[in-house]
């Protein structure tokens, strides 16, 4: 392939832009904020599960407390009724004695139920404290997520800006390179990321290998408009004053 030496040298400029674009792409995919957001998403999901689990415990205890309160109320109503009948003092003595006996039983029952309720209320306080702690951790993680999202968006904005800048420089440069040379460059770049390399002081900057004596003679003998490629890495070797030929 033949190409104007100037056009060949412009491949190096194009390569610099493409390398920079590839680096920007790599940075975009590997933003630390993305890993942080992944971690926070897992943390938030675990905390949300925990919150639901603890809330279920609170609800269970509340249900038990409500049931105990209904039982206590029933006992109270029954005792009030018994007491009214007892105070009226009517009826056979045996019946009054039975009422007294029942009142004593109801009193014991009420105090048992009240003890159980108290215990449940203490349990509820503990579980509520756990729930509050989980809610706080959730809030903290949500704040962290929103911070990380802002930082990610700012970083992406900067990367977009840098990419647009390079795209802007790339387009007019591409227009100055012959189509067949550009196609060869793109084909090589597709597989290795680098399509054209400077030959500097007898060394290919693509694969970093020194040209052998015979290869050097071949490159040196090639006409300036001949497109030469590295024997080792097959990249387009661009010759400049620095090539050391």
Size of the site for Zn ion (CB under 5 A): 6
Residue whose C-alpha is closest to residue 32's, from 148, 116, 121: 148
Nearer to Zn ion, 112 or 232 (CB): 232
Output the DSSP codes for 70-116: HHHHHHHHHHHHHHHHHHHT-S-HHHHHHHHHHHHHHHHHHHHHHHH
Nearer to Zn ion, 61 or 238 (CB): 238
Could you say whether residue 47 binds Zn ion (CB under 5 A)?
Answer: no
Nearer to Zn ion, 9 or 78 (CB): 9
Q: Which stretch binds Zn ion (CB under 5 A): 7-15, 50-58, 121-129, 205-213?
A: 205-213
Output the DSSP codes for 36-80: HHHHHHHHHHHHHHHHHHHHHHHHHHHHHHHHHHHHHHHHHHHHH
Could you say whether residue 230 binds Zn ion (CB under 5 A)?
Answer: yes
- When binding is defined by CB under 5 A, the residue of 34, 65, 207, 245 that contacts Zn ion is 207
Nearer to Zn ion, 37 or 245 (CB): 245
Q: Which stretch binds Zn ion (CB under 5 A): 100-108, 154-162, 173-181, 223-231?
A: 223-231
- When binding is defined by CB under 5 A, the residue of 184, 194, 204, 219 that contacts Zn ion is 204
Provide the binding-site residues for Zn ion, judged by CB under 5 A: 204, 206-207, 230, 232-233
């Amino acid at each position: 392939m033949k190409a104007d030496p100037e056009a060949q040298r412009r491949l190096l400029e194009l390569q610099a832009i493409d390398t920079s674009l590839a680096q920007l792409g790599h940075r975009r995919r590997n933003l630390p904020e993305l890993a942080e957001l992944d971690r926070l998403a897992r943390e938030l999901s675990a905390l949300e599960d925990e919150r639901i689990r603890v809330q279920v415990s609170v609800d269970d205890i509340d249900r038990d407390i409500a049931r105990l309160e209904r039982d206590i109320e029933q006992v109270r109503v029954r005792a009030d009724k018994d007491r009214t009948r007892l105070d009226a003092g009517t009826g056979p003595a045996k019946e009054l004695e039975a009422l007294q006996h029942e009142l004593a039983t109801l009193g014991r029952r009420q105090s048992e139920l009240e003890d159980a309720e108290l215990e449940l209320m203490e349990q509820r306080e503990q579980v509520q404290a756990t729930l509050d702690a989980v809610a706080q951790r959730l809030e903290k993680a949500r704040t962290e997520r929103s911070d990380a999202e802002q930082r990610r968006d700012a970083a992406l904005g900067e990367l977009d800006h840098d990419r647009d800048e390079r795209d802007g420089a790339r387009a007019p440069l591409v227009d100055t390179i012959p189509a067949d040379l550009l196609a060869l460059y793109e084909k090589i770049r597709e597989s290795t990321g680098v399509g054209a390399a400077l030959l500097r002081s007898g060394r290919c900057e693509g694969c970093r290998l020194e040209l052998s004596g015979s290869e050097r003679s071949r490159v040196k003998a090639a006409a300036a408009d001949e497109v030469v490629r590295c024997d080792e890495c097959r990249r387009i070797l661009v010759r400049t004053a620095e090539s050391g030929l």
